[in-house]
Every structure is written in C-alpha cells, then in structure tokens.
Amino acid sequence: MEGLPDDELVKRAKNGDRDAFAELVGRCQEKIYQTIFRLTWNHLDTDDLVQETFMHAFRSIKSFKQKASFSTWVYRIAVNLTLNHFKKIKRDREEKHISYENCISEGNSAGSISSPEKNSLKKELRKKLDEAINSLPLPYRSSFVLVEIQGMSHGQAAYVLQCSENTVSWRMHQARKLLQGRLRPYLERGMS
C-alpha cells in the first residue's frame, strides 16, 4: 500500500478497501490535524473533528470526483466540519485557548538577530502573533491558516472554503491588515 499513488488508493477505497483508505488517512492526517487545531486551539475538539473528517470522507468517497487531490478534498471536509462545530457550540474563544507557550517555536529564526534583547522581542512577537491569528474573525482565520500556514494557493483555498479566489485574496488582505494593526507596536519596536 505504501508505494501506491493517491489516485490508486482512492480507486481502491471507492471499492470499499478500508486498508487503502487508512493509508490515505495516514498520509494527510498530520496536516489536517494541524489545520483544525489552528482553528480550534483545542486538542480534544481537534481529535474529534479529525476523526469525524475521515469518517465523513470514507462515507462519501464515492462522490469524490477527483478534480482536486484527495488531501485538498479532505481539507474541505475538515474546514466545513470545523466551521459547523463553531456554529454549534459558540464557546468563548478564551476558554479554548491552550498554553501558547507550547506552540511557540523555540528554534532559531532569522540568523541576523543575535542579541538577547532582540530574541526576547521576537519571542514576544510570536506570542502576540499567535494570539492575533487566533483572534481573527473565522472566515479570515480559515483563509489565513490554509494559505499562510498550510501553503495553499488561493485556488486550492477557494476550493476548500467553497468560495471564489477573489474572496480568498480579499480575506488574506484583510487578515494581514488586521494582524499588522494589532502587532504594530511590536513590529515597530523590532524594526527600530
């Protein structure tokens, strides 16, 4: 199974081959998990949503027309389920926060920054950046996560979010503008 391309696995999965589907799940599960987690900031919800996503994908794989790749199609399901999840529960965003410290990179970033003061500034900026991303309105956040974090093109994100490329482009601009506005003090300090 491991050497087979996605298309072949999809064909087999369409004929009810659960092992082929499990192989497909294994291939894109991590990215799906990260995407959902970026939207929910809750490991329990993410775990449930990941499972729901793949179960939904398995049930409806016969309707998958293979116009997009399997992973993009699963992204679409994942994002839809996550957005529905938000609509249902409407929890306070603050309650969903997990410790940001765990999610902030401790690795090296720009090699040009060397002083301890600048390092702490970078750390603070990343913390605030995480908060700012998380506080973006959901449509902007979902576009931002798919394009900026998962590296999708506007076209792919549009397919996942079921909107036009122009909408994705506009949402990306708005999201960046909001982030820039919220992080301006830190950005100006970092640049000075």
Residues near another protein (CB under 8 A), total = 52
Which DSSP string corresponds to 113-180?
A: --SHHHHHHHHHHHHHHHHHHHTS-HHHHHHHIIIIIT---HHHHHHHHTS-HHHHHHHHHHHHHHHH
User: Does residue 122 belong to the site contacting another protein (CB under 8 A)?
Assistant: yes
> Is 18 one of the binding residues for another protein (CB under 8 A)?
yes
Q: Which residue stretch of 3-11, 67-75, 87-95, 177-185 sits at the interface with another protein (rule: CB under 8 A)?
A: 177-185
**Maximal CA-CA distance, the chain:** 61
Q: Minimum distance between the CB of residue 75 and another protein, rounded to whole angstroms?
A: 15
DSSP letter for 67, please: S
57-72: burial string, b at 16+ Cβ within 10 Å, e else: bbeebeebeeebebbb
Asked whether 187 and 180 are in contact (CB, 8 A), the reply is yes
Interacting residue with another protein among 110, 112, 114, 115 (CB under 8 A): 110
Query: Looking at 2-10, 68-76, 88-96, 166-174, which segment touches another protein (CB under 8 A)?
Result: 166-174
Quickly count: other Cβ atoms within 10 Å of residue 35's Cβ.
27
Q: Please tell me whether residue 33 binds another protein under the rule CB under 8 A.
A: yes
CB of 161 to another protein, least distance (A): 14
Residues that bind another protein (CB under 8 A): 18, 21-22, 25-26, 29-30, 33-34, 37-38, 46-47, 50-51, 54-55, 58-59, 102-107, 109-110, 122, 125-126, 129-130, 133, 147-149, 153-154, 165, 169-170, 172-173, 176-177, 179-180, 183-184, 187, 190-191
